[in-house]
Amino acid sequence: MACFEDPDDWVQRRMGRMIVDEQRTKVQREPRRELRKRPTWMTVDDGVTKIECIVLDVSPGGAKVVTDAALEVRDSFELALVPEHATRQSCEVVWRRGKTYGVKFLS
């Protein structure tokens, strides 16, 4: 590069111009509500086994939970979003990272 040459011109010549023909479409995600690591529990084996867990966040379609249990969570289970209530939410695991699980609500 010559000393008298504009650095921006040199970079554009060497790298070429990046042309974007169409705008990227933004994927709309469901709104999340932070629950501040609320402790609750999940049940597997038709309610026979109760496992303590923590709900990290929840959206209308699912939740992110973490559990310290050594027991492997099955692909489907029921989650008590409010431990004091008898209502349970049927869930299916859609991803796993260690002891953290992403679940979608089935109903």
Give the tens place of pLDDT for each residue, 65-89: 998 775 566 788 999 888 788 889 9
CA distance 56 to 38: 7
| Tokens 């692909």 found at | 75
> Which residue in the block uniquely carries the two structure tokens 């699912």?
62
In a domain, 72, yes or no: yes
CB 56 within 8 A of CB 39: no
Structural domains of the chain, count: 1
**Residue 47, domain CATH:** 2.40.10.430
With respect to residue 68, please indicate whether it lies within any of the assigned structural domains: yes
- Give a yes or no: residue 40 inside a domain: yes
Is residue 10 in some structural domain?
no
HSE toward the beta carbon, residue 100, CA cutoff 13 A = 6
Is position 26 within any domain? no
Distance, CA of 35 to CA of 38 (rounded, Å)? 6
What pTM was estimated for this model as a whole?
0.62
pLDDT digits over 36-50, tens only? Answer: 688 889 988 888 888
Residue 27 falls within a domain, yes or no? no
